[in-house]
Amino acid sequence: MSNETSAKQPTLTQWLAKDTRKAPPAYARRTEFDLGVEDAPVARYISREFHELEMKRMWSRAWQMACHESNIPAAGDYTTYEIGNRSWIVTRQKDGSIKAFVNACLHRGMQLVEGSGKLPAFVCPFHGWSWNLDGTNRGVTERWDLPQLKDRDICLPHAKVATWGGFVFINPDHDAQPFEDYIGDLDEHFVSDPLEHRRVAVHVARVTPANWKVAMEAFIESYHVSPTHPQAVPVSEYAETQYDIYNENVSRLATVSIAPVNETLKNMSEQEFADFGARSTGREPVQLKPGQTYRQALAEERRAVVGAAMGRSVDHLTDCEMLDAVEYFVFPNFMPWHGYGLQIAYRFRPHGDDHESCIMEVYFLLPRNLSEPCPRAPETIWIADDAKFADVEELGRIGPIFDQDWVNILGVAKGLKSTVKRGLMLSRYQEARIRHYHKRIDAFIAQGDPA
């Protein structure tokens, strides 16, 4: 991004500079970039051929979020992770570590398990072959009739596994770069408020009639907020969101959520702005202390709530971390929000091997009592095809907002098939994160087919 363009954009860094607390250097860092103005080919979203390239060359090599650690808190707990036509068993070991195995018997290919559960071993329901939790073979029924096994390794094939922020990531490619290198300095962005301090309070999933990239891109920029979510605009700088690209796999958007966004609001006293903000956002009215700003008052309120939930002080966290909408992206499909402005994370992935549908998932990540073990994650709530997000009581006031995004997702999925354009126009700055992750997909595809 040119200096001329960037100078027009207010930055999270500027707000942090006048914050009541000091932010971690990585979190406060702003990046410069220019990814050009090239169109995104429509075929990338609707082509079966492109989907097959992604499955064969990208999903088979990229680090991807498989589950939350609290889905498998105890030894023997397992959950399945499905991507395309591949299925993985992610399971907790006796020593507390986590492993991921191909969910298929080495005899005739029978799927070993479905869904989630707890088992002392994995037993094929077809012929009874079995494996220990660590993937070593436990037994072969009537082994006398399979003399060829003496020369074969019959441990379950496994994927590489890493954990970050309380989530479990797997990579089918044993030659893949270490996860720590893949995410770069992402840890340093979350050093003041690790996601490990959260619990999964709600996990919602929905089969979506759109390519996974169409669904994901509805949440990767703030350019759409004003026309799509007008109720969110009155005291938020969505039109001036800061975007950052940190490495080939990590990017960020940051929107200051409590700010006077026009001259009328800027000319108000802080108490008048606080009263306006309460009316506009549905918050409880706040009586400001002498010299206190509305941002400072709301941040103090939230620190008290979060600190009480954690059983510890969070007085070190900045006002930005307490209030603002800061979304990170970890390629290819994981989007955790930082801080307490939006306490959620997203995941998007193909629905089976269908390039025209995907699974959209939302996790509510709330602060947990740090003196106790992280509670087990709740069961996933699957939203029916004919239901609305607003129908899910657990989503609260954010449900109707997702319904507004849902309209966009369905509209783009349909429009892409009728457009006469070969490429989609992307803005240079506000939609640069879209162009950025597409370039990463291209890099994986350019590697050719796995050996």
Cβ atoms of 250 and 184 within 8 Å: the answer is yes
Q: Is residue 124 part of a domain?
A: yes
Identify whether residues 16 and 130 lie together within a single domain.
no
What digits encode the pLDDT tens for the residues 153-200?
Answer: 999 999 999 999 999 999 999 999 999 999 999 999 999 999 999 999
- What one-letter code names the amino acid at 238? Y
Closest by Cα among 123, 121, 122, 129 to 145: 129
Cβ atoms of 33 and 245 within 8 Å: the answer is yes
Quote the pLDDT of residue 228: 92
In angstroms, the CA 218 to CA 24 distance is 29
Kindly list the distances between the CA atom of residue 334 and the CA atoms of 34, 312, 376, 395, 429, in Å, as whole numbers in the listed order: 23, 28, 21, 19, 21
Phi, psi of 143 (to 5 degrees): -60, -25
- The residue from 139, 171, 203 where one domain ends is 171
In angstroms, the CA 59 to CA 84 distance is 8
Question: Domain limits at 127?
Answer: 64-171
Strand ranges, E, within 210-331: 242-245, 250-255, 325-330
With tokens 């009739």, the residue in question is 145
In angstroms, the CA 384 to CA 381 distance is 9
Q: Is residue 450 part of a domain?
A: no
Quote the pLDDT of residue 10: 57
Cβ atoms of 264 and 276 within 8 Å: the answer is no
- The residue from 171, 203, 236 where one domain ends is 171
Identify whether residues 263 and 333 lie together within a single domain.
yes
Q: What is the count of structural domains for the chain?
A: 2
In angstroms, the CA 184 to CA 196 distance is 18
Q: Is residue 189 part of a domain?
A: no
pLDDT at 86 over 60: yes
% of the chain exceeding 90 in pLDDT: 86
Mean pLDDT confidence for 360-377: 98
Categorize the per-residue pLDDT at 11 as very low, low, confident or very high, splitting at 50, 70 and 90: confident
Q: Is residue 263 part of a domain?
A: yes
Identify whether residues 251 and 385 lie together within a single domain.
yes
Q: Is residue 182 part of a domain?
A: no
pLDDT at 22 over 70: yes
Categorize the per-residue pLDDT at 277 as very low, low, confident or very high, splitting at 50, 70 and 90: confident
Q: Is residue 188 part of a domain?
A: no
Categorize the per-residue pLDDT at 2 as very low, low, confident or very high, splitting at 50, 70 and 90: very low
Mean pLDDT confidence for 338-361: 97
Query: Could you tell me which residues come within 8 angstroms of residue 382 by beta carbon, excluding any fewer than 6 positions away?
Result: 204, 205, 206, 207
Query: Could you tell me which residues come within 8 angstroms of residue 64 by beta carbon, excluding any fewer than 6 positions away?
Result: 83, 169, 170, 171, 332, 333, 334, 349
Residue 337 sits in a domain of what CATH number? 3.90.380
Cβ atoms of 87 and 80 within 8 Å: the answer is yes
Closest by Cα among 255, 218, 260 to 238: 255
Cβ atoms of 255 and 236 within 8 Å: the answer is yes
Identify whether residues 78 and 40 lie together within a single domain.
no
Closest by Cα among 141, 107, 140, 103 to 119: 103
* Mean pLDDT taken over the chain: 94
With tokens 């939302």, the residue in question is 362
Identify whether residues 260 and 309 lie together within a single domain.
yes
- The residue from 119, 137, 171 where one domain ends is 171
Identify whether residues 255 and 332 lie together within a single domain.
yes
Identify whether residues 108 and 47 lie together within a single domain.
no
Helix (H, G, I), strand (E, B) or coil at 158: strand
Q: Write out the H or E segment, with its range, that includes residue 137.
A: strand 137-139
- Token output for 73: 């808190």
Quote the pLDDT of residue 1: 43
- What one-letter code names the amino acid at 426? L
With tokens 């309380």, the residue in question is 166
Mean pLDDT confidence for 346-356: 98
Q: Is residue 125 part of a domain?
A: yes
What digits encode the pLDDT tens for the residues 427-446?
Answer: 999 999 999 999 999 999 99
Identify whether residues 200 and 308 lie together within a single domain.
yes
Identify whether residues 417 and 369 lie together within a single domain.
yes
Q: Is residue 183 part of a domain?
A: no
Identify whether residues 151 and 299 lie together within a single domain.
no
Identify whether residues 261 and 384 lie together within a single domain.
yes
Identify whether residues 86 and 158 lie together within a single domain.
yes
Residue 137 sits in a domain of what CATH number? 2.102.10.10
